[in-house]
Amino acid sequence: MTVMERFSLGPFPVARIGFGAMQLPGPGVFGPPRDRDEALTVLRRAVELGANHIDTAQYYGPNVANELIREALYPYPDDLAIVSKVGGCRDGTGAWLPADEPDELRRGIEDNLQTLGVDQLAAVNLRVMDSDAADPGQPGQLRRERFAAQLTAMVKARDEGLIAGIGLSNITREHLLFALQRTEIVCVQNAYNLIDRSSQPVLDECTARGIAFVPFFPLGSGFAHDNPILGNDLVNRTAARMGRTPAQVVLAWTLTVAPNVLLIPGTSSLPHLEENMAVAGIELDDDTRRQLSALA
């Protein structure tokens, strides 16, 4: 097994390649998994291969991802950092809905704790919904009073010991700076990949402050019909030359972006898990890295 580099997620030193539970439930992150036994095997194997950072959410399923994690891994390894997120929910049709009022955030944290069977989570990300990212009357300006109330609920949960750290997701640099005036932030989870670098200012701020940055959709959106990243000619030529998969090349590049980047590639397939975890042993030469970086 490759010994992976680590970076601090709050007080937890975690391997830079963890596991995202989003793909464990059924299609559209809704309902039971296609193969429950394989989902449980994937979780156990991820930990065996060195993943000690698992990202989840109560609304993955809903409930499904957390229930699988508990069945597969409880009692949890001492060094396992389970990170969840709050701010959203699902309706009976699987639609994604906001649930980000302060009392809803608190209830979401408590639901995660109960389903996972723990007294404290390593961190919980406050997921800022797209409609709340900015004040529509002031483009680019965050909705300060609303965000401040949400942060207050998160701080209270941390101070009461329900969570060890506060994270943020789907935010702007302005959100991060605003939050840091009020509390410590241990991680940020934003979309970031070879093609979409719109969160670069957020990543740069996190890097400067030693905050873990967890890119979601590092291989492109799992909900898109076409994937301009894995279908990119340069990515595929590089993968063929190196004897790797396109996904492995892209994940390896993502690790080179900054030392505080933590990957959480998700899968419900054991072979794909093995490929994802093997990325820790892939090194890109400087010329390859430059070419890939220029794709943006």
pLDDT at 124: 98
Question: Is 60 annotated as catalytic?
Answer: yes
CA 121 to chain centre: 15
d(CA 294, CA 66): 38
pLDDT at 60: 98
pLDDT at 44: 98
Q: Indicate whether this model's pTM tops 0.85.
A: yes
pLDDT at 1: 45
CB 20 within 8 A of CB 266: yes
The catalytic position among 60, 74, 76, 192 is 60
Structural domains of the chain, with CATH? 6-225+255-267 (3.20.20.100)
Q: Which tens digits make up the pLDDT trace of 198-215?
A: 999 999 999 999 999 999
pLDDT at 106: 98
d(CA 128, CA 183): 17
pLDDT at 4: 83
**For the chain (length 296 residues), average pLDDT per consecutive 10?**
83 98 97 97 98 98 98 98 97 94 98 98 93 49 89 98 98 97 98 97 98 96 81 97 98 98 97 98 97 95
The CA distances from residue 1 to 45, 72, 140, 218, 274, in Å, are 12, 21, 45, 23, 11
pLDDT at 231: 94
Spatial CA neighbour of 60 closest among 31, 92, 98, 93: 31
